Structure 1
């Protein structure tokens, strides 16, 4: 399997990874941390997909996609923190005033999990942030100490995944997901 990671500029491929089976279903679309909470809660049905279509057309794109040949197999949301709810999140601290980027969702399609694709996605997210001049990139994974994380909550990644990509723990957070504390992991890019 030769995995290639590319900027998330193809709406149909983004929809394959984060969209619902029914276009009118109210699923995340990876917007929970990308837009303000009030806007997120107000979006219903197809409005969520319409917004993602707009975001995919913007520069920078809202994330990266992993491909196995022509098959889209993974997604990672990455964007400047200032454009996300992490800019105002009281549970996730700011280490400093750098214009860092955040990576907050890593998703691999069923049938492709357990093959290292999340590592490729995180590396691709780092490369996208670097290509836009980000001074650093942060993630907010669970510190699960090797315990199993429920698949529905695994989208934030694990501390071990981020450490393998060269990130270091920069701070504790007040956020808990699936019973595990989340930590702020950072990779300096300059």
Structure 2
């Protein structure tokens, strides 16, 4: 099993980010802007607009997420940062704030095609938590999907991760406002 490494999304990792997300920028031109914009802004920028918005975030003072490498190969993307960075998440009744604790919100975890189905998600979450701890966070919070038994989650919902992998990575459920969407935390 190779060691995973984590690098912030910046100009020098942008090409690797694009390799992980693919030509569509993840699902339907998202470019990981889903939780950052209103639905109207998101739809107006779908595709190239969202791509450019993420590129601007990557050039900012704080990285909008990390690229995770498996044996030097870009294998995953994780959007993370203070929950306040994600206005759409803040407005979501389904994923309403649990308390006033400052958390590092993990809003997207995307495993690159060709790397899926090998149990990488749990290891990615461990690596991301190590990164978050080094960045000074005490709590990482995720919003995974819990697919119904015998069903696979669709690409639009699985972008937040799968609950079983979060459990395997040491997260615990702290709230559930909808049957298939737990809010999970890991204390660092």
Q: Is the 8 A contact 1:82 1:99 kept in 2?
A: no
- CA distance in 1: counterparts of 2:71 and 2:138, whole angstroms: 32
Q: Does 1:181 align with 2:180?
A: yes
Say if 2:8 is the partner of 1:4. no
Q: Which residue of 1 aligns with 2:174?
A: 170
Q: What is the rounded CA distance, in whole Å, between the counterparts of 1:44 and 1:181 in structure 2?
A: 26
What is the CA distance between 1:30 and its match in structure 2?
A: 1.1
SS in 1 for 2:128: helix
- For structure 1, the residue ranges without an aligned partner over 5 or more in a row are 175-179
The number of aligned residues is 182
Give the C-alpha shift of residue 13 in structure 1. 1.2
Partner of 2:54: 52
For residue 111 of structure 2, what is the aligned residue in structure 1?
Answer: 108
What per-residue deviation string (whole Å, max 9, x for no partner) do you get for residues 21-41 of structure 1?
59xx96111110133333222
Cα deviation for residue 48 of structure 1 reads: 1.7
1:126 aligned to which of 109, 126, 129? 129
Measure the CA separation in 2 of the matches of 1:147 and 1:127. Answer: 32
Q: How far apart in 2 are the matches of 1:34 and 1:56? A: 14
Cα distance, 1:36–1:167 mapped onto 2, change above 3 Å: same
2:165 aligns to what?
161
* Residues 18 and 8 (structure 1), Cα distance of their counterparts in 2 relative to 1, 3 Å cut: same
Shift of 1:151: 4.9
Cα distance in 2 for partners of 1:127, 1:58 equals 22
TM-score, normalized by length of structure 1? 0.83
Taking the aligned partners of 2:80 and 2:150, their CA distance within structure 1 comes to: 26
Which runs of 5 or more residues in structure 2 are unaligned? none
Measure how far apart 1:57 and its partner are: 2.2
SS of the residue 2:23 aligns to: coil
> Which piece of structure 1 moves more, 163-172 or 30-39?
30-39
Stretch deviating more after TM superposition (114-123 or 146-155) = 146-155
